């Protein structure tokens, strides 16, 4: 096993041993580091990518449809996030949309396998090699998933990011970064030895996080109802980011060594299978209706993070979600296009299309088959809202 930095967890390793070894083995990795969050893993991945070039202002290309974490952590390393548009049918980046954001300052590309739908990552990896930039694969929502060509997710990234925090496929806490070559592992090790993640126990981390979530929801709502332009909103968002106290404390932290990780790790296959059954249940109940299109990449990836659909009437998406929520079911509308919050000049029309239409439902341990049956009844009951006549 190749745990990084060289001295990590020497006292408590046995409770991490199986998971560490299997995660490295899966992608034939050369080094593995534990963190308190996937956000910290992204941060160190960017630092590695940046360390390979001498540039005044490095840039990282990332998806426009995602949570804001990958962009915030890039800014913490003084890399500029550049947002690639998505395919409107999959909500995923493509080689062409990534190429459109390339400049001589690009040091890395982040691909995110979103909601269990897998990016066609092989041609992107090939292109990154030609350009001598790093490919970072984010598996926070795709742990244990299979790529379209049958390889395990994470097989193509130079660096692979994992999250084990709440709402993810394993929820014991923490995150990890796998380096898939000896050279990258060595760079990562050197950076970790020199700049290890610190614990900021003097900050109220939940409040810092809440401050961002409230800001995000508020600004996304204004964008959704077309009351403000992305330029106006981005000005507010980027200014708020500058005054946010201690972003570093929110995103960068070490793994808690007291977690018994291996036990949860070994339960993963059974958990993924249970989620798959739940996704199939939604699919069978909903696929015939013409009010939406289902995102069904989970059928081939074998991992469903959320069951998602794109409704045909975006103006009604919020009313529809709220109606199902009032019936007692979990509903979310992730994700809003991050370029509109942080860099509207990276225009992403397809990301806007997806953001206004996406509705997500739960397949985790908090729901069972009877719950999903009732949830689908509620969804179908409110589908009228999404037909043209109702608008």
Ligand X SMILES: *Cc1c(COP(=O)(O)O)cnc(C)c1O
* The residue count for the chain: 391
Kindly tell me the burial class for residue 247, based on how many C-beta atoms sit within 10 Å of its own C-beta (0-12, 13-18, 19 or more). Answer: middle
Scanning 125-133, 136-144, 279-287, 325-333 for contacts with ligand X by CB under 6 A, the matching segment is 136-144
* Distance in Å, CB of 174 to ligand X, minimum: 7
Distance CA 178, CA 28 (A): 10
Quote the CA–CA distance of 318 and 325 in Å, as a whole number.
Answer: 10
Interaction pattern, residues 35-74, with ligand X; x per rule: CB under 6 A: --xxx--------------------------xx-xx----
Taking the complex as a whole, the smallest distance from the CB of residue 137 to ligand X amounts, in Å, to 10
- Our CB check for ligand X shows the closer of 282 and 305 to be 305
- Nearest approach, Cβ of 335 to ligand X (angstroms)? 9
248 touches ligand X by CB under 6 A: no
Site string for ligand X, 70-99 (x = CB under 6 A): x-----------------------------
At its nearest, how many Å lie between ligand X and the CB of residue 290?
30
Binding part of the chain for ligand X, among 135-143, 209-217, 353-361, 371-379 by CB under 6 A, reads 135-143
Q: How many Cβ atoms sit within 10 Å of the Cβ of residue 375? A: 23
Identify which range of 118-126, 134-142, 206-214, 381-389 contacts ligand X by CB under 6 A: 134-142
**How many C-beta neighbours within 10 Å does residue 267 have?**
10
Q: Are strands 106-112 and 134-138 parallel, antiparallel or unpaired?
A: parallel
Cα gap 167→42, rounded to integer Å: 18
Looking at the DSSP bridge assignments, the partners of residue 80 are 59
Six-digit token string for 265:
């790790």
**Which residue, 67 or 236, is less far from ligand X as judged by CB?**
67
Q: Which of 112, 178, 291, 311 binds ligand X (CB under 6 A)?
A: 112
Q: Which is nearer to ligand X, 160 or 191 (CB)?
A: 160
Please state, in angstroms and rounded to a whole number, the distance separating the CA atoms of residues 39 and 45.
10
Among 8, 141, 355, 360, binds ligand X (CB under 6 A): 141
Q: Which of 163, 313, 333, 339 binds ligand X (CB under 6 A)?
A: 163
- Name residues contacting ligand X, limited to 269-298 (CB under 6 A): none
Identify which range of 34-42, 81-89, 206-214, 321-329 contacts ligand X by CB under 6 A.
34-42
- Strands 175-179 and 31-35, sheet pairing: antiparallel
* Candidate list 175, 197, 297, 344; residue touching ligand X; CB under 6 A: 175
- Closest approach, Cβ 386 to ligand X, in A, equals 27
Full DSSP string of 194-242: HS-----TTS-HHHHHHHHHHHHHHHHHHHHTTSS-HHHHHHHHHHHHH
The count of C-alpha atoms lying within 13 angstroms of the C-alpha of 15, restricted to the half-sphere facing its C-beta, is 12
| Nearer to ligand X (CB atom), residue 114 or residue 386 | 114
Instruction: For residue 136, give the 3-state DSSP assignment.
Output: strand
CA angle (214 as vertex; 210, 219 as ends), nearest 5: 150
Q: Which spans of this chain sit near ligand X (rule: CB under 6 A)?
A: 37-39, 66-67, 69-70, 112, 138, 140-141, 163, 165, 175
């Amino acid at each position: 096993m190749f745990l990084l930095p060289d001295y990590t967890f020497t006292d408590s390793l046995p409770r991490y041993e199986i998971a560490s070894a299997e995660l490295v083995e899966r992608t034939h990795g050369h080094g593995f580091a534990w963190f308190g969050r996937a956000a910290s893993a992204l941060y160190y991945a960017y630092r590695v990518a940046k360390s390979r070039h001498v540039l005044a202002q490095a840039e990282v290309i990332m998806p426009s449809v995602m949570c804001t974490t990958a962009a915030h952590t890039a800014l913490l390393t003084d890399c500029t996030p550049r947002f690639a548009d998505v395919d409107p049918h999959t909500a995923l980046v493509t080689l062409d949309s990534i190429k459109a954001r390339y400049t001589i300052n690009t040091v890395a590309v982040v691909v995110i396998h979103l909601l269990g739908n897998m990016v066609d990552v092989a041609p992107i990896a090939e292109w990154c090699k030609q350009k001598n930039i790093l490919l970072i694969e984010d598996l926070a929502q795709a742990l244990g998933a299979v790529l379209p060509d049958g390889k395990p997710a994470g097989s193509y990234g130079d660096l692979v990011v994992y999250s084990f925090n709440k709402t993810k496929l394993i929820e014991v806490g923490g995150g990890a970064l796998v380096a898939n070559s000896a050279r990258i592992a060595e760079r990562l090790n050197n950076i970790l030895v020199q700049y290890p993640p610190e614990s900021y126990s003097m900050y109220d981390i939940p409040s810092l996080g809440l401050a961002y979530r409230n800001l995000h929801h508020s600004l996304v709502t204004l964008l959704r109802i077309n009351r403000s332009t992305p330029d106006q909103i981005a000005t507010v968002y980027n200014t708020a980011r500058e005054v946010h106290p201690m972003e570093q404390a929110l995103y960068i932290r070490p793994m808690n060594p007291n977690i018994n990780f291996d036990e949860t790790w070994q339960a993963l296959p059974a958990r993924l299978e249970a989620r798959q059954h739940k996704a199939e249940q939604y699919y069978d109940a909903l696929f015939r209706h013409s009010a939406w299109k289902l995102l069904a990449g989970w059928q081939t990836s074998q991992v469903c993070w959320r069951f998602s659909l794109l409704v045909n009437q975006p103006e009604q998406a919020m009313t529809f979600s709220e109606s199902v929520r009032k019936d007692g079911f979990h509903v979310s509308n992730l994700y809003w296009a991050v370029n509109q919050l942080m860099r509207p000049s990276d225009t992403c029309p397809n990301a806007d299309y997806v953001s206004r239409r996406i509705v997500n439902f739960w397949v985790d341990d908090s729901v069972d088959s009877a719950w999903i049956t009732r949830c689908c009844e509620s969804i179908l009951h409110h589908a009228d809202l999404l037909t043209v006549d109702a608008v």
